[in-house]
Amino acid sequence: MDRFLIRGGRPLHGTIRIGGAKNAALPLMAAGLLTSERLVLTNVPRIADIATMAELLRQHGLAVADAGGDSFSLSIGGEITSTEAPYEIVSKMRASILVLGPVLARCGEARVSLPGGCAIGTRPVDLHLKGLEALGAEIRLEAGYVDARAPNGLTGARIVLPFASVGATENLLMAASIASGRTEIVNAAREPEIGDLVACLVAMGARIEGAGTDRLTIDGVRQLHGATHPILPDRIECGTYACAVGITGGDVRLQGGQSEHLGAVVRVLEEAGVEVTQEAGALHIRRGGGLRGVDVMTEPYPGFPTDMQAQFMALLSVAEGASMVTETIFENRFMHVPELNRMGARINVHGASAIIRGVPSLSGAPVMATDLRASFSLILAALAAKGETVLSRIYHLDRGYEAVDRKLGGCGALIERVAE
Ligand SMILES: CC(=O)N[C@H]1[C@@H](OP(=O)(O)OP(=O)(O)OC[C@H]2O[C@@H](n3ccc(=O)[nH]c3=O)[C@H](O)[C@@H]2O)O[C@H](CO)[C@@H](O)[C@@H]1O
Ligand SMILES: C=C(OP(=O)(O)O)C(=O)O
């Protein structure tokens, strides 16, 4: 197991290339199950979750290969030979549930392990299952597996989601794209990654209206065909590096960063004293003056993303004044708080809210990563802290951030990956 050694106190200067979005790449790879023709995805991030999804697609029978080219590209294609997604793979990554809709729609049956909870919350999949039932699937839960059948195929329906779930919207979109008739998804999630999935499905021959709105209309087609699709830049990676510039001071261009995808993040960064300027092909981040405390509440897109909450908490821990951060999406997403407090932060949690009293400086310490975004919040704290931080359990980080040491090191940070 690797660790990061970080020596803090150096402002970042330079350029960081933002990779393709993890949360777009995973459903896009699952969309490869909707056709036997070749789906080529470009701008794929080099992260562990992509390798896990490739492993899952391969065990379904698809061929997944590096397609070559300048950016990392994947070529996905072939016939589905197994309709089962086994516990051994699904338990590594919750997004594995995204194969359920495509395999069921394509084969008339699917057996997918229930993903279970994870560190940040219980994360049920009831909305995925109810939506598929509305499309005519018969679903049983047995021995920890979702057993779904639709021997006569799926049929379009009107589905009203009680909560705008990202994953449920994606699963239903993919299944409905080859169901017979019209499906309407009301209160659909509006995250940019959904728009990216719609764009790819349309390039594969799907008929979908309403991308970017909370109402998606899908007219099912008999079959989809191959396509080539570039994955959109990762808005969470972009926001995370913006926080790195904010917490250390300095001046960095985030190549590929798009402010239009960041939703409320830009406004909150600016309120906290971080300058954000959209330039051609890059998001320019600077901080000249001090950081100010702000109140933040997580919400579905275009609200402030839960996937940026931990990183902002690190930034606010050294801002002047008090801040309140309220987490409304996941019930257990404050695990970074005790670790940040070990580095000198003053944060109290009361239910779904955390009160942060800004301190003048943090100090390096041995700390432990608990989940993906919490890991990066500790890196951010370490970059600003006096002295050395040793961050262990960075396999959480490797799930979703590529080349962290190279990207930060290239801007002057002292960060080294060492084997434990
Ligand atoms: C791979 C991927 O894209 N992951 C993202 C996706 O996760 P994911 O798709 O799992 O998130 P959802 O939007 O589905 O979940 C949001 C909330 O709805 C609840 N819920 C969801 C589905 C369901 O059937 N029943 C239910 O109760 C969840 O427990 C959670 O409290 O969106 C989250 C919210 O923006 C992000 O934090 C994740 O990074
Ligand atoms: C929670 C996250 O991912 P996942 O849904 O894949 O667990 C995340 O990206 O912060």
User: How far apart are the C-alpha atoms of 255 and 285, rounded to whole Å?
Assistant: 11
The ligand with the least distance to the CA atom of 330 is 1
Residue recorded with tokens 């801040």: 323
Q: Which atom of ligand 1 is nearest to the CA of 189?
A: 13
Pocket test for ligand 1, best of 92, 163, 171 (most atoms within 8 A of CB): 163
- Residues touching ligand 2 (Cβ under 6 Å) are 23, 94-95, 118, 307, 372-373, 400
Q: Whose CA is nearest to atom 37 of ligand 1?
A: 307
Tell me the CA–centroid distance for residue 327 and ligand 1, in Å.
Answer: 13
Residue 331: predicted pLDDT: 94
Annotated binding site for phosphoenolpyruvate: which residue ranges?
A: 22-23
Annotated binding site: which residue ranges?
A: 22-23, 94, 123-127, 307, 329
Tell me the CA–centroid distance for residue 330 and ligand 1, in Å.
Answer: 8
Tell me the CA–centroid distance for residue 5 and ligand 1, in Å.
Answer: 32
Q: Whose CA is nearest to atom 6 of ligand 1?
A: 166
**Same CATH fold, 22-230 and 2-19+233-419?**
yes
Tell me the CA–centroid distance for residue 95 and ligand 2, in Å.
Answer: 8
Q: What is the pLDDT along the chain (420 residues), one digit of tens a residue?
A: 899 999 999 999 999 999 999 999 999 999 999 999 999 999 999 999 999 999 999 999 999 999 876 679 999 999 999 999 999 999 999 999 999 999 999 999 999 999 977 889 999 999 999 999 999 999 999 999 999 999 999 999 999 999 999 999 999 999 999 999 999 999 999 999 999 999 999 999 999 999 999 999 999 999 999 999 999 999 999 999 999 999 999 999 999 999 999 999 999 999 999 999 999 999 999 998 999 999 999 999 999 999 999 999 999 999 999 999 999 999 999 999 999 999 999 999 999 999 999 999 999 999 999 999 999 999 999 999 999 999 999 999 999 999 999 999 999 999 999 997
Annotated binding site for UDP-N-acetyl-alpha-D-glucosamine: which residue ranges?
A: 94, 123-127, 307, 329
Cis geometry, peptide bond prior to residue 302 (ω within 30 degrees of 0): yes
Tell me the CA–centroid distance for residue 373 and ligand 2, in Å.
Answer: 8
Q: Which CATH entry fits the domain spanning 22-230: 3.30.530.20, 3.65.10.10, 3.30.1360.70, 3.40.50.10210? A: 3.65.10.10
Q: Whose CA is nearest to atom 10 of ligand 2?
A: 307
In three-state form (DSSP H/G/I as H, E/B as E, the rest C), the secondary structure along the chain is CEEEEEECCCCEEEEEECCECHHHHHHHHHHHHHCCCCEEEECCCCCHHHHHHHHHHHHCCCEEEECCCCCCCEEEECCCCCCEECHHHHCCCHHHHHHHHHHHHHHCEEEEECCCCECCECCCCHHHHHHHHHCCCEEEEECCEEEEECCCCCECCEEECCCCCHHHHHHHHHHHHCCECEEEEECCCCCHHHHHHHHHHHHCCCEEECCCCCEEEEECCCCCCCEEEECCECHHHHHHHHHHHHHHCEEEEEECCCHHHCCCHHHHHHHCCCEEEEECCEEEEEECCCCECCCEEECCCCCECHHHHHHHHHHHCCCECEEEEECCCCCCCCCHHHHHHHCCCEEEEECCEEEEECCCCCECCEEECCCHHHHHHHHHHHHHCECEEEEECCHHHHCCCCCHHHHHHCCCCEEEEEEC
Complex ipTM over 0.95: yes
Q: Whose CA is nearest to atom 8 of ligand 2?
A: 307
Q: Whose CA is nearest to atom 23 of ligand 1?
A: 125
- Residues touching ligand 1 (Cβ under 6 Å) are 23, 26, 95, 121, 123-128, 163, 165-168, 305-307, 329-330
Residue recorded with tokens 């004293």: 273
Q: Which atom of ligand 2 is nearest to the CA of 23?
A: 9
Q: Which CATH superfamily is domain 2-19+233-419 in?
A: Enolpyruvate transferase domain (3.65.10.10)
Q: Whose CA is nearest to atom 3 of ligand 1?
A: 23
Q: Which atom of ligand 2 is nearest to the CA of 330?
A: 1
Q: Which atom of ligand 1 is nearest to the CA of 130?
A: 24
Tell me the CA–centroid distance for residue 154 and ligand 2, in Å.
Answer: 29
Active-site choice (107, 118, 200, 238): 118
Domain segments of the chain: what residues? Answer: 2-19+233-419, 22-230
Tell me the CA–centroid distance for residue 311 and ligand 1, in Å.
Answer: 19
State the distance between the two ends of the chain, measured CA to CA, in whole angstroms. 5
Q: Whose CA is nearest to atom 17 of ligand 1?
A: 329
The ligand with the least distance to the CA atom of 24 is 1
Active site residue 243: no
Record the tokens describing residue 71, joined without a space.
């950016």
